[in-house]
Structure 1
Amino acid sequence: MKVLLVGEFSRLHNSLKEGLTDLGHEVLLIGTGDLFKKYPVDINIDSSFFNKRIPLLFRKIILSISGFDIAQLEIYFRFKKALPKLKDFDVVQLINEDALAIHPKLQIPLLKQLFKQNKSSFLLSCGDDYININHYINEKERYSILTPYLNDKSVIKKYNYSLKYISKSYKMLHDFIYENIKGVIASDIDYHIPLKHHEAYLGLIANPINTKNIVFNPIKIEDKIHIFHGINSISSIRKGSTIIEEALKSLQQKYASKINIKTTHSLPYEEYIKVYDNAHIIMDQVYGYDQGYNALEAMAKGKVVFTGAEQEWLDYYHLEADTVAINALPDAEHIAKKLEWLILNPEHIETISKNARAFIEKEHDYITISKKYVAIWSSRS
């Protein structure tokens, strides 16, 4: 099978590519690398000219005056230039409804040509999109990434990225994509919940994790417990970083002799995963029902991760609470109590570490997951 993967926001498509390639399929990945994260892609369409010193100054001036990022034009032309190479694929899969990260008026013509010159196209619900933002903005669940905005509209600027998906232009992009795909696949429970009754929904396929490339080091607490909190300044409010910081601050002085806390801000992906290698506990997010990609990779390394591990996730995977990951609720006191439980009972850290790795190997193996994708694509092609 010849597969084209469009976009990369988390390393999901990279791991899927590795699994598909190991299975003998031909795979090409095109994308921007996602800003500072710099994920690897085969064809890079990210803006380079408008990131140079003088053009960047011009770009910022245009953005401040018009609200339009002129770098999108460079992405548009780079993708258009690549289009002749992006044809005759059996499967095209978009990482997200905004896979090219450019305005719908620029994106739709490119996707129209892309869909036309390939056999079957599919969409991942992996991150924000029209359906899940529309679902969560109506407060249909206990909480979501939109909770801070719903509680305090003054933070609306922090949610411009999410809220754009329910604007008229992005609704148009959503409708266009759904008219041209064979179906949509959710990557975790947070995206499964809003989609589960939609006619185009093909089901949940868990994030693929290539454990061959991730070394598992069983935790043995011999001195202090090392806690790591990697903050992404762009998405910090959506992840509840301030709630996590509040919980950590409440424990820092009380258990100064027992814990060491390290906090970083907006590190490139390759640097980020190296920095947390020595950590025992990873603080991820508080508004999720399931784990995102960074949390899963940390679990594969044997880290104890505070993340989304809600009852819906426990039921789906038939797990008991706090055995594989720690469910981090949007409540600093709750998080602090869970941390204190681990600090005072470090043997639980060692047990959860082993369970986390076993869970990833069982439910997120990149080869098994890649086979599931092939099965769904083949059934709809």
Structure 2
Amino acid sequence: MKIALIGEYSGFHTNLRDGLNELGHNVVSISDGDGFKNFERDINLKSNNKNKYLRVLDYIKKVGFDINYIKDYDIIQFINPIIPPFLNLNINKYFINKLINNNKSSFLVCAGDDALVWDYWESGNNENLRYSWIKGTIKDYIAENALPYWENENILLWNKELIKEVNGIIPIMYEYFRPYSQFIDKVRAIPIPINLDKIKFSENKVKNKLIIFHGLNRYFAKGTNYVEKAFDILKSKYPNDLELIIAGKLTYNEYTNIIKDTNVIIDQVLSYSMGMNGLNSLAMGKILLGGNEKENNDLLGYEFNPVINITPDVKTIVTSIERVLDEKHLIAEKSYESRQFVETYHNHVDVSQKYIDFWLKKL
């Protein structure tokens, strides 16, 4: 099949493209590389022009001419109804509708906050969550003196309009599945694909100190405020046993380099699930603290999950790290469990086949 993957989310479409290629399909990826993360792509939507007027001309060329080559594809798939860098609603609608009209079938992946997800959880449905990233996200935007673009009512209407247009919808985790479950005839949750051929596994060995890393990105939404407080407590209690690192705004290559010697990764505190960074860390053989709630495990069919579940509670984070420290002699053994989990549930070829099966079912 001829397949076009439009948009990027922390390497999601890059990994899916790799798996589909290995299964013999003809795949093109179209994105801006997910901003500073700069993932590889076949058609680049990013403009390097610093002059805003020349940048607009670049975007007009990309939307008006470059995508004309994407015609008569069997499958086109979007990540979210707004495709960066085209944050302007009208440009997005033109861009996406043109692709839908020029190709045979279209699908929407739910990965990251979009207008429908935001509206669902902000409208009181989050009472069913024991904890949520919503309030943290609002704090992040207030700190930047901005509002989430998806709070725009017109973008929500466009989100709902697009749902009617596409053949199917694929949420990647529980937090995104719940809002879209109202369209259950179109929806199937499928795990995130991870290309294990690109991620080297190394037995997780503790040297002088147990090294723990937390990525600084979306400070309140990820729960970094809780991690910082936990680290302050741990630094004073275990100055000779722990090396605690918080760093952010890293490209994918910078991120993988900094965690090569890391033993433990703290992912998102306010999530029921794991994202790309968490899964990449597990594939490398790291111990992961993050989202491991029953709701997501049941949805994605996990029969085992090595992630240490943490919640927005400083004491819980501290005690979880203390337990890892007490059992550091088991870390090398547990690193194999981390890799096995990703091999079992997130292998990019197996996940790509699940996408193909779903696409064909909805054609």
User: TM-score w.r.t. structure 1 length?
Assistant: 0.88
Match for residue 291 of structure 1? 274
Q: How does 1:335-354 map to 2 (within 5 A)?
A: 335-354=317-336
Q: Tell me, yes or no, if structure 1 residue 97 matches structure 2 residue 81.
A: yes
Residue 160 (structure 1) shift: 4.8
Contact 2:47 2:58 in 1 (8 A): yes
Aligned mates of 1:189, 1:347 — CA distance in 2: 33
Rounded to whole Å, the distance in 1 between the matches of 2:222 and 2:361 is 36
1:266 is aligned to 2:244: no
1:318: how far off? 4.7
8 Å contact from structure 1 (residues 149, 159) kept in 2: no
Question: Aligned to 2:181, which of 196, 207, 221?
Answer: 196
- Greater shift in the superposed pair: 327-336 or 365-374: 327-336
Give the Cα separation in 2 of the matches to 1:200 and 1:78.
Answer: 34
Distance 1:42 1:22, change over 3 A: same
What is the rounded CA distance, in whole Å, between the counterparts of 1:120 and 1:364 in structure 2? 25
Q: Which residue of 1 aligns with 2:349?
A: 367
Separation in 2, partners of 1:293, 1:226: 21
| Code of the aligned partner of 2:252 | Y
TM-aligned CA distance change 1:179 to 1:71, over 3 Å: farther
Mapping of residues 100-139 of structure 1, within 5 Å:
100-101=84-85, 102-137=87-122, 138=124, 139=126
Q: Distance in 2 between matches of 1:123 and 1:25?
A: 19
Counterpart check, 1:42 vs 2:42: yes
Matched-pair contact (CA < 8 Å) for 2:136–2:222: no
Q: CA shift at 1:179, angstroms? A: 2.5
Q: Which runs of 5+ in 1 are unaligned?
A: 63-69
CA contact (8 A) 1:130 1:170 kept: yes
Structure 2 match to 1:146: 134
**Alignment-derived partner of residue 286 in structure 2:** 303
1:65 is matched with: none
- Distance, in Å, in 2 between the alignment partners of 1:293 and 1:380 is 26
Equivalence for 1:357? 339
Alpha carbons of structure 1 residues 372 and 155: separation in structure 2 relative to 1, 3 Å: closer
Q: 1:172 to 1:308 in 2, by over 3 A?
A: same
Aligned-partner Cα distance in 1 for 2:219–2:229: 13
Structure 2: distance between partners of 1:32 and 1:91 = 20
Aligned length: 358
- Residue in 2 aligned with 1:165? 150
| 1:348 positional shift | 4.1
**Contact map agreement 1:2 1:89 (CA 8 A) in 2:** yes
Letter of the 1:90 partner, please give it.
Answer: D
Q: Counterpart in 2 of 1:30?
A: 30
Q: Which residue among 190, 196, 208 is the counterpart of 1:223? A: 208
2:197 corresponds, among 212, 215, 218, to 212
1:203 counterpart SS class: coil
Aligned counterpart in structure 2 of residue 333 of structure 1, from 312, 315, 321: 315
AA of the residue aligned to 1:287: L
Q: Verify the 8 A CA contact 1:158 1:237 in the aligned structure 2.
A: no
CA positional deviation for 1:262: 2.3
CA-based RMSD: 2.2
Percent identity reads 29
Counterpart residue type for residue 302 of structure 1: G
Give the Cα separation in 2 of the matches to 1:246 and 1:71.
42
List per-residue Cα deviations over 1:314-344 (Å, max 9, x = no partner): 4444556xx6111121111110110011112
In structure 2, distance between residues paired with 1:175 and 1:348: 49
Deviations 1:39-67 (A, max 9, x none): 111111112112xxxx3xxx5xx9xxxxx
- Alpha-carbon distance in structure 1 between the residues aligned to 2:346 and 2:9: 18
Q: 1:10 is matched with which residue?
A: 10
CA displacement at 1:113 relative to structure 2? 1.2
Residues 277 and 14 of structure 1: is their aligned pair in 2 closer, same or farther, counting only changes over 3 Å? same
Which residue of 1 is the match for residue 64 of structure 2?
A: 80
AA aligned to 1:91 is: I
Q: 1:282 aligns with which of 261, 265, 268?
A: 265
Once residues 25 and 164 of structure 1 are traced to their aligned partners in structure 2, the CA distance between those partners, rounded to angstroms, is 35
Amino acid of the structure 2 residue aligned with 1:26 = N
User: CA, structure 1 residues 11+104, in 2 after alignment: closer, same or farther (shift >3 Å)?
Assistant: same
Using the TM superposition, give the Cα deviation of residue 353 of structure 1 relative to its aligned residue in structure 2, in angstroms.
2.0
Report the CA distance between 1:298 and its aligned residue.
Answer: 0.5
Q: Which amino acid aligns with 1:312?
A: E
Distance 1:100 1:149, change over 3 A: closer
Q: Which moved more, 1:337-346 or 1:261-270?
A: 261-270
TM-score by length of 2: 0.92
